[in-house]
Amino acid sequence: ALSSAARSGFLDLAPTVESFADAVVHGLARTPKSLPATFFYDAEGSRLFDRITDLPEYYPTRTEVGILRDHGAEMAALLGPGVQLVELGSGSSVKVRLLLDRLEAPAGYVGVDISRDHLRDACDRLAADYPDLEVLALCADYVTQDVPIPPPTTGLPRRRVAFFPGSTIGNLLPEEAERFLAHWRPELAGGGMLVGVDLKKDKAVLDAAYDDAAGVTAAFNLNLLARINRELGGGFDLSAFRHHAFYDPAKGRVEMHLVSTRDQIVPAAGRRFAFQAGESIHTEISCKYSLPEFQALAARAGYRPARVWTDPAALFSVHWLEA
C-alpha cells in the first residue's frame, strides 16, 4: 500500500522468496545450469554493484554520467515540460539528478527497482533533495512483472518518459530486449524512453570491465550463491566456485559464469544439486550493441529512434526513443 509516513511514497510489488526458490530449483536442475541475473540485487549485491561502478576497469557508469552531464540540457529540452519520469532499475538514483536538475517542472518521479531497502533509501534522499517533486518508490521486478505505474497525484496532463540507464537492457537477450521495449511502449505513448546502451568494443577492455583486478565483480557474482545460502538454506562452499567472465565477440556479449572447481553435491531450496568439476552456472549476459543495431531493435519494437548521444571515445550510448 502507499504509505505517507516516508518522505517518498512506497509501493511494494517485490517478488517473494518463493519465486527465488522456484528460480533456483528450475535453474540448477537444468543443463546447462543457469540463474536469473535479477537475483544478484539483494542488499549485499546492491552494495557490491555500487562498488563495481567505481572500479577503474568498469567504464560504463562514469562514461554514461559524462554523457548525461554534457548533453543533459539537450535531453531535458527534448523531453519537454511536465513529464512524469519513470526510472527503471533506479538503484541509487544518482544519474537521474542530472536530468531532474534541468527538466522543466517535472510532474513526478517513480523509481522502480527490485532491491527494496536500497530503493527506499535512494528515493527518500531524492525526495529530501527535490522537495517540490512527487517521488514514488516502486519495488518490483520490472522485467518479468507487469508493473502498473500510478499517474502523478497532481493530476497534471501525463507525458510519461522512462529513463533506463546503465545498459541494464543489455542484461536481456536481444529478442527479450525487443519484447521488453514493445511491452512498455503503450505506457509511454506521446513520450518515450531514454535508454543507456553499452557499445561494442575491444575484447580486452570488456574482459577487464567484468573481471576486475580487485575482485569486486567476482564477489558480486559469488554473492548469488551466498544469497542462496542465506535465504534458501543452501550449502554452497564459495571457495569451491570461481568467477569466470569473458566477452564473446561473435555473440556481441559478455557472459558471466560460476565454475565448480570440483565434483560436489550442494543442498539448496530443499533439493540437492550435483556439479562436476568444471561445470558452470551461467549467471549473466551483458549484450553490447552498435548504434545502428540498437536503433533497428528499437524500431522493431515500435519506437522512433530520434536522437543518440555518445562519449568522445565511443564507449557508451544514450538513445532517445519516441514512443
- List residues binding ligand AVI (CB under 6 A): 52, 60, 166-168, 170-171, 210, 217, 284, 286
Own/partner pairs for 234-243, CB < 8 Å, 24+ apart? 234/24, 234/266, 234/267, 234/268, 234/269, 235/266, 235/267, 235/268, 236/266, 236/268, 237/264, 237/266, 240/264, 241/281, 242/218, 243/211, 243/215, 243/217, 243/218
Closest distance to ligand AVI from the beta carbon of 61 (Å):
9
Q: What does the alpha-carbon distance between residue 206 and residue 89 come to, in Å, rounded to a whole number?
A: 22
Pick the closer one to ligand AVI by CB: 102 or 242: 242
Q: Which residues pair with 54 in a beta bridge?
A: none
Closest distance to ligand AVI from the beta carbon of 77 (Å):
27
Pick the closer one to ligand AVI by CB: 8 or 217: 217
Q: What does the alpha-carbon distance between residue 318 and residue 196 come to, in Å, rounded to a whole number?
A: 4
Q: What does the alpha-carbon distance between residue 321 and residue 34 come to, in Å, rounded to a whole number?
A: 32
Q: What does the alpha-carbon distance between residue 199 and residue 289 come to, in Å, rounded to a whole number?
A: 5
The contacts of residue 247 (CB under 8 Å, 6+ apart) are 203, 206, 207, 210, 253, 254, 288
Pick the closer one to ligand AVI by CB: 210 or 294: 210
Q: Which three cell numbers stand for residue 14?
A: 517485490
Assess contact for 114 and 41: CB atoms under 8 A. yes
- DSSP annotation of 232 reads H
- CA dist 203 → 60, 121, 207, 250, 287 (Å): 15, 36, 6, 11, 13
Closest distance to ligand AVI from the beta carbon of 249 (Å):
16
Pick the closer one to ligand AVI by CB: 133 or 298: 298
Q: Which residues pair with 81 in a beta bridge?
A: none
Pick the closer one to ligand AVI by CB: 113 or 134: 113
Closest distance to ligand AVI from the beta carbon of 289 (Å):
13
Closest distance to ligand AVI from the beta carbon of 277 (Å):
25
Closest distance to ligand AVI from the beta carbon of 284 (Å):
6
Closest distance to ligand AVI from the beta carbon of 171 (Å):
5
Pick the closer one to ligand AVI by CB: 210 or 273: 210
Would you tell me how many other CB atoms lie within 10 Å of the CB of residue 151? 14
- DSSP annotation of 209 reads H
Pick the closer one to ligand AVI by CB: 115 or 171: 171
Closest distance to ligand AVI from the beta carbon of 168 (Å):
4
Closest residue to bound ligand AVI by CB: 286
Would you tell me how many other CB atoms lie within 10 Å of the CB of residue 121? 16
Pick the closer one to ligand AVI by CB: 107 or 209: 209
Closest distance to ligand AVI from the beta carbon of 267 (Å):
27
Packing angle between helix 116-129 and helix 43-52, nearest 10 degrees? 60
Pick the closer one to ligand AVI by CB: 171 or 260: 171
The contacts of residue 187 (CB under 8 Å, 6+ apart) are 149, 160, 162
